[in-house]
Amino acid sequence: MQDDVVLTMRGICKYFPGVKALENVDFTLRKGTIHALMGENGAGKSTLIKVLTGVYPMDGGEIRIDGVEDAIVIRSPQEAQGYGISTVYQEITLCPNLTVAENMFIGRSRKSRVDWKQMEKRSGELLQKLGIPARPKQQLGNCSLAVQQMVAIARAVDTDCKVLILDEPTSSLDDKEVEMLFTLMRQLKESGVGIIFVTHFLEQVYAVSDQITVLRNGQLVGEYEVRELPQVKLVEKMIGKDLEDLSSMKKKETVLDGEDFYEARGLASTESRPFDFHIAAGEVNGFTGLLGSGRSESVRAIFGADPVTGGTVKVNGKQVKISKPLDAMKQGIGYLPEDRKRDGIIADLSVRENIILALQVIQGMGHPISRAKAEAFADEYIKALAIKTASSDTPVGSLSGGNQQKVILARWLLTHPQYLILDEPTRGIDVGTKTEIQKLVLQLAEDGKSITFISSEIEEMLRTCSRLIVMRDRNIVGELKGDELSQERVMRTIAGGGE
């Protein structure tokens, strides 16, 4: 093994019934580098990580790690930890009701007696060393998500860590928090830890990584130095075709002065401050702002997802009362929630049942959709949206994230809504699907539907929306349309003081 290499994986194979999840994949991690692992959903990133951490046994290949003579076999996450391979997952797996110090040390000692004083002292030192803004005695649940993520990392690296795996660590953080996390990552890199960084955010890869390994369909595409691989090339390698599709997509100039389909004055919910809002038929607009700026809360208020506390609402010029989701649905409004796992899918139910759910609810309890009809609906949308599922009977929870998102989209499309609210429909899904969803949005607008779109990726918003409502600190701070729609202008409005 070369001196600077800490981990090599050679010819890794992993088969699931009917699927070659990994075939002959090589991966090399060097000391003191950040190595991004990229690929679309289903490319094999997660599988490779799970093989490395002993969650799955591998069906072929060898793993070598610095400091061990022979190839090693990792049978469990505990064994992986023993070899100095630590993982921090997307979902925080710590206990929010314990203190920071307890979270960093609990379950790691075999001794039954814990020296609390010592523990607090050590965690204090470690937090300071890594520059994590948390106190040992603070309850973890009171820290921001970013700090919680950092505590999880601190816990991972404290155990003589050679390889640190970060699996989508930034997906629920805002830009400032991401930057904090990157600072920590760079610091760890300086200290010689090799970091495997799995993410969907291309910009972040370029901000922090040294190398990139790209996987596609379970096979290795190649390993590249970051500075030698432009972003466009990376995307091409990930999806395996060039990007004409994306660049040829053009936003239609939608009618802004048409009849308002929906209009709200002083609309407020328990979670959002009063605001005015309107959308015309055939219009695509969007709420933008940082995470936590109140953009999601605003669209939730439109749909009646949180208890409405005030304001008047008109649909098609007629005053209506929307105090719960069913009211909105009956007015032809659909809502694709931000957190699809928590608020969207019914994981154990079949794709079919998930697709017909909203339509069924609108029809009412006494009018069940017949099995044959449901089957037909499901097949229609599985085909139309190219949902990858074994059958319409498959539990939706077993689908990949992008396909789950499509199922929820299908659910709302089936109700033939006049107005569709899409909150982060493209988060955590691969580039190909993203494009499809954007195309679909524009298609719907062309058909005269109204759409409100929220995305963390401003480019995406600019591509689709003809009007952007900018929010900061739970207030609407600006509205941009026409020529004002540029990335720079949006950023300045979000940041404030630029006007």
Partner 1 sequence: MKKAKTSKFFAKNAQLLIPLIAILLLVIFNLIRDPSFFSIGISANNRGDPVLQGNLVSILNGASELVILAMGMTLVTAAAGGQDISVGALAAIAGSVFVKILKGGAVTGPTVLLAFLACCVAAMLFGAFNGSLVAFFRIQPMIATLILFTCGRSIAYWINGGATPTVESPIINAIGSFIPGIPIPTPILIVIVMGILFGLVFRFTTLSLYVQTVGINQGAARLNGVNTVGIKLLAFIILGVCCAVAGTIGVSRLGLINHETLLINIEMDAILAVAIGGNNLGGGKFKMLGSVLGAYAIQMLTITLYAMKVPSTDVKAYKAVVIIILVVMGSPVVKNSMSRFWKKLKRNHPAGEKEVA
- Count the neighbouring beta carbons within 10 Å of the beta carbon of residue 377: 19
- Tokens encoding 425: 């429909």
Quick one: which segment of 64-72, 202-210, 324-332, 398-406 binds partner 1 (CB under 8 A)? 324-332
CA dist 370 and 362 (Å) reads 15
Q: How far is the CB of 357 from partner 1 (least distance, A)?
A: 5
Interface region with partner 1, contact rule CB under 8 A, candidates 87-95, 202-210, 286-294, 360-368: 360-368
Which amino acid belongs to residue 11? G
Q: How far is the CB of 254 from partner 1 (least distance, A)?
A: 27
Query: How many of the other CB atoms lie within 10 Å of CB of 458?
Result: 17
Q: Extract the runs of DSSP E, i.e. beta strands, from 79-148.
A: 85-88
As given in the structure block, the two tokens for residue 393 are 């009977």
Using rule CB under 8 A, residue 17 touches partner 1: yes
Task: Give me the least distance between CB of 231 and partner 1, in Å please.
Answer: 35
Please identify, among the stretches 169-177, 208-216, 336-344, 436-444, the one whose residues bind partner 1 according to the rule CB under 8 A.
336-344
Whether 275 and 470 have beta carbons less than 8 Å apart is answered as: no
For the bound state, the minimum distance from the C-beta of residue 361 to partner 1, rounded and expressed in Å, comes to 4
Tell me the number of residues near partner 1 by CB under 8 A: 29
- The minimum distance between CB 252 and partner 1, in angstroms, equals 29
Does the footprint of partner 1 cover residue 111 (CB under 8 A)?
Answer: no
Asked whether position 365 contacts partner 1 by CB under 8 A, the answer is yes
Tokens encoding 344: 């969207």
Tokens coding 329: 């649905």
Q: With respect to partner 1, which residue has the nearer C-beta, 84 or 417?
A: 417
Q: Using an 8 Å Cβ cutoff, are 130 and 154 in contact?
A: yes
Q: What one-character DSSP code corresponds to residue 228?
A: G
Restricting to residues 367-386, which ones interact with partner 1 according to CB under 8 A? Answer: 367-368
For partner 1, give the closer residue by CB, 68 or 347: 347
What is the CB neighbour count within 10 angstroms for residue 82? 14
CB of 404 or CB of 466, closer to partner 1:
404
- Told to check if 361 binds partner 1 by CB under 8 A, we report yes
Site for partner 1 in 396-455 (CB under 8 A): 411
Task: Provide the sign of the torsion angle of the four alpha carbons 91, 96, 98, 99, taken in this order.
Answer: positive
**Per CB under 8 A, 301 contacts partner 1:** no
The answer to the question of residue 344 lying near partner 1 (CB under 8 A) is yes
* Shortest Å, Cβ 345 to partner 1: 7
User: Which residue, 351, 43, 94, 456, is CA-closest to 219?
Assistant: 43
Residue 259 and residue 279: Cα distance in Å, rounded?
A: 8
Least gap, CB of 150 to partner 1 (angstroms): 28
Contact 199, 205 (CB under 8 A): yes
Which CB, 249 or 347, lies closer to partner 1? 347
Nearer to partner 1, 348 or 484 (CB): 348
CB 253 → partner 1: shortest distance, Å? 32
Q: Which of 33, 47, 87, 360 binds partner 1 (CB under 8 A)?
A: 360
**Cα dist from 330 to 229, 334, 452, whole Å:** 50, 9, 18
30: enclosing H helix or E strand: strand 19-30
What residue ranges in 42-185 does DSSP mark as E strands? 60-65, 85-88, 163-167
- Binding-site ranges for partner 1 (CB under 8 A): 17, 303, 305, 324-326, 329, 335, 337, 342-349, 353, 357-358, 360-362, 365-368, 393, 411
